[in-house]
Structure 1
Amino acid sequence: MLRIVLLLLCQFAVQTLCMAQANYPQPVEGDVVLRNFRFQSNEQLPELRLHYRTVGKLERDAKGVAKNAVLILHGTGGSGAQFLRADFADRLFRVGGVLDGTKYFIVLPDGIGHGQSSKPSDGLRARFPRYGYLDMIEAQRLLLKELGVEHARLVMGTSMGGMHSWLWGELHPQFMDALLPLASLPGQISGRNRAWRRVVIDAIRNDPEWRQGDYKEQPAALKTGLQMLFLMGSNPVLRQEQMPTLRRSDEVLDAYVSNALKTADANDLLYALSASEDYDPAPQLEMIRAPLLAINFADDLINPPELQILEREIRRVPNGKALLIPFSDQTAGHGTHTLAEVWEQHLAELLRQSERS
């Protein structure tokens, strides 16, 4: 009995220490297995594993409906773990933060094909079902159902997760009280955004070492794909500061690729980029009912403001607003979506405006 008490005390001490260090409740990880999941392609997977992390505890209102759930969705090639970094979680999830982990139940899923969820590199390789954004959202919905979440205080996401947020608002307009898509556009992947993705997709598919997905070693084209991700992820000014000479430029780029190659997989990247091909929220933007604040960044190479797509389409969203964050020494191009300090005050205002009586 004494050993059990001591063990519990030790576990409590570790959890308390972790919370004190991060100033928010310790994340809890888990997996949900969806049986016989059918994809939009009509392919089926006997077991689709979805990994997730949660912060905080789920609370319900007088009617038993979840009232404090927040769904946060990651970008292409990422995972829910990316939101536990200091410049995101330590600001938002801290006690007194905009998404205070002692008040909200925050769900951070790994999307299909990403993180610790089922993906091609688990073994099926190119025989893994072709998935798209609609499949990813349906899997997220089923995951939330398993967690007992039938309503969300907020659905938000970065990059691909921002695109998912637009679709969530259309497909399940009564599910959430508010929407915050970051670094995304409410329209098909097109123009330069499609072109850079095609460069990576074609490089992998046309690489003889790819062998239709049955390679024994990663094909050389994976390096090309990672270099392209590096190129698109920041802004030219910041890159110039980081890489002021030819030699330093090569060193920084090589270091990024070398580190990324430790965990990257060509099939996973190919699938993840191809998944965006079914994304097109434009025809049904009027279906979105929840207050929506779309935040983009002036130095984002993937969603450049010159296109004026967001400014045009936001007019069709009944309760929608668009905000463009100007370039500054605080922004970092597309990756500003995870720098909460830049935009957290606008999230706070969205939550105030969408609060239910």
Structure 2
Amino acid sequence: KFFIVLPDGIGHGKSSKPSDGLRAKFPRYGYRDMVDAQYRLLTDGLGVNHARLVMGTSMGGMHTWLWGETHPDFMDALMPLASLPTQISGRNRAWRRIIIDAIRNDPGWSGGEYKTQPPSLRTAAEMLWFMSSNPLLRQKEAPTLAKTDEVLDKFVADIVKADDANDVLYALEASRDYDPAPDLEKIRAPLLAINSADDLINPPELRILEREIKRVPHGRALVIPLSEKTRGHGSHTIAALWKDELVRLLTESAK
């Protein structure tokens, strides 16, 4: 009766991306383009005209907010994780800009026509390591100077081996058109937004989620407390932290 669709967004995974061959000639895309492509995949490609649930994590969480606004009658429920329903700003914008500027100002980037990955991809990886977990976890896995260097070097090496500078650049620049705030009242389906208290990218201290969720007609928000199980921004991948809330959302939104 039900099936799960897990699409690779434009610029990611097996979907079309700069590293497939076009490099810097690849068309610029934004989050709204990505949501539109997902909608067309479901409706035109798979013949799906209604979803039981739309959910996503991090960038996918931001897409979920946009889904609820642009196609308010398409789904029975929405569950964005590790995201905020406002334009990217402050520290969240700054870490992206640091990576974007590092790549664009890198002579080795060569306007996107490099033969080998430019050194700035290492900067991108280092920034991702810095932002993607919580301080307690990082201190536990890197308790000394030498261990920190070892852990960081391995993380960076893995990223450089698997990723591409143009792909990273395009993916980060794609967030420039993200701003669901003006249309939050258009969301009709029950929505449960879940963040974690130790998320450096979406810190609860800003109280943005608490403020904006009041504008969503059937919206509810939950912040998972810091614990040994949370992983900062990466807490969204630990299903044990939020699965009970998902069951509750599906039960309450059943038709």
Q: List per-residue Cα deviations over 1:322-350 (Å, max 9, x = no partner).
A: 00110011101000001000110001100
Q: Distance in 1 between matches of 2:163 and 2:110?
A: 17
Q: Distance in 2 between matches of 1:212 and 1:340?
A: 40
Q: Distance in 1 between matches of 2:158 and 2:64?
A: 30
Q: Distance in 2 between matches of 1:260 and 1:211?
A: 20
Residue aligning to 1:312? 211
Q: List per-residue Cα deviations over 1:139-182 (Å, max 9, x = no partner).
A: 10111121121100000000000000000000000000000000
- 1:126 is aligned to 2:18: no
- 1:179 is aligned to 2:78: yes
Out of 41, 63, 66, which is 1:143 matched to? 41
Residue aligning to 1:45? none
User: What stretches of structure 1 move > 2 A for 4+ residues in a row?
Assistant: none
Instruction: Give the CA deviation at 1:262.
Output: 1.3
Instruction: Give the CA deviation at 1:126.
Output: 0.5
Residue aligning to 1:108? 6
Counting matched residue pairs gives: 254
Residue aligning to 1:336? 235
Residue aligning to 1:167? 66
Out of 103, 117, 121, which is 1:222 matched to? 121
Q: Distance in 1 between matches of 2:62 and 2:48?
A: 21
Identity of aligned residues (%): 70
Partner of 2:235, secondary structure, is helix
- 1:190 is aligned to 2:89: yes
Q: List per-residue Cα deviations over 1:230-253 (Å, max 9, x = no partner).
A: 111100000000001111101111
Instruction: Give the CA deviation at 1:260.
Output: 1.4
Alpha-carbon RMSD across the aligned residues, in angstroms, is 0.6
Higher RCO (CA-CA < 8 Å; seq separation 6+): 2
Is the strand fraction higher in 1 or 2? Answer: 1
Q: Distance in 1 between matches of 2:14 and 2:229?
A: 31
Q: Distance in 2 between matches of 1:271 and 1:131?
A: 8
Out of 275, 283, 290, which is 2:174 matched to? 275
- 1:353 is aligned to 2:227: no
Partner of 1:156, secondary structure, is strand
| AA partner of residue 299 (structure 1) | D
Out of 101, 109, 133, which is 1:234 matched to? 133
Q: Distance in 2 between matches of 1:256 and 1:209?
A: 21
Q: List per-residue Cα deviations over 1:41-63 (Å, max 9, x = no partner).
A: xxxxxxxxxxxxxxxxxx3xxxx
Out of 237, 242, 248, which is 2:147 matched to? 248
| AA partner of residue 194 (structure 1) | R
Instruction: Give the CA deviation at 1:214.
Output: 0.5
| AA partner of residue 129 (structure 1) | P
TM-score normalised over the length of structure 2: 0.99
- 1:258 is aligned to 2:157: yes
Residue aligning to 2:192? 293
Q: List per-residue Cα deviations over 1:262-317 (Å, max 9, x = no partner).
A: 11100000000000000000000000000000000000000000100000000000
Larger radius of gyration: 1
For structure 2, list consecutive stretches of 5 or more residues without a partner in the other structure: none
Partner of 1:121, secondary structure, is helix
Q: Distance in 2 between matches of 1:265 and 1:355?
A: 42
Q: Distance in 2 between matches of 1:160 and 1:113?
A: 12
Residue aligning to 1:99? none
Residue aligning to 1:303? 202
Q: Distance in 1 between matches of 2:241 and 2:94?
A: 29
Residue aligning to 2:223? 324
Partner of 2:84, secondary structure, is coil
Q: Distance in 2 between matches of 1:149 and 1:301?
A: 36
Instruction: Give the CA deviation at 1:120.
Output: 0.3
Q: Distance in 1 between matches of 2:105 and 2:113?
A: 13
Q: Distance in 1 between matches of 2:122 and 2:168?
A: 11
Is the helix fraction higher in 1 or 2? Answer: 2
